[in-house]
Amino acid sequence: MRVSRKGEPLTARELQILEAIAHGARYAEIAAQLQLAFSSVKNYAQSVTTKLGANSLAHAVHLAWEQGLFRRERHGDHAGYAAHRYRDEEPCEACWAGERAYRAEQRQKRRQEAVSDPQGVQEAARGARDVRGAVRPSSGRTAARGEAAA
Ligand SMILES: [Zn+2]
């Protein structure tokens, strides 16, 4: 599982679970309702706490409330987009625009991390293989055939 970092925006699922917690639902109830493993709900709660930079889950609920993450009228950024998704709606234009900007920013950030962080380099390399994997083995075989022919 990917490690969450402080400052990362919550996913729609994380927001959904945090809101359920804020409304007094227990992990077991959330797990049953969303058909998730109990441990998954705990992981989501931990991830939310990390991303919000909170000291506890109660603190996370407070911070999310303060940042307007539970507000229905939030629009125009990744959180607004996630909120639409959480409500199972098609995101509005403003939220799509915000989401596109957010994704572009994330791609930029990943490129920068790939330069400065060796772990990031490995992740970037894995991503590159996903895209070019179909090309590389065949070019290898071509080289081998070339040698055999020579
Ligand atoms: Zn919106």
Structural domains of the chain, with CATH: 12-125 (1.10.10.10)
pLDDT tens sequence across 52-77: 999 999 999 999 988 888 876 778 88
**C-alpha to C-alpha distance for 85 and 102, rounded to whole angstroms:** 15
| Separation of first and last alpha carbons in the chain | 47
Conformational region of residue 35, where left means phi above 0, alpha means psi within -120 to 50, and beta covers everything else: left
Give the global pTM: 0.53
- For residue 7, name the pLDDT band (cuts at 50, 70, 90): confident
pLDDT score of 34:
93
Residues 11-48: tens digit of each pLDDT: 888 988 999 999 999 999 999 999 999 999 999 999 99
Q: How far is the CA of 77 from the centre of ligand 1 (A)?
A: 8
Q: Give residue 148's pLDDT.
A: 46
Ligand 1 centroid to residue 33 C-alpha, Å: 26
Cα of 99 vs centre of ligand 1, distance in Å, is: 10
Tokens of 118: 């060796």
In angstroms, what is the span from residue 137 Cα to ligand 1's centroid? 44
3-class SS at 7?
coil
What pLDDT score does 51 carry?
94
- What are the tokens at 116? 């400065």
Tens of pLDDT, residue by residue over 105-128, are 999 999 988 888 666 556 666 665
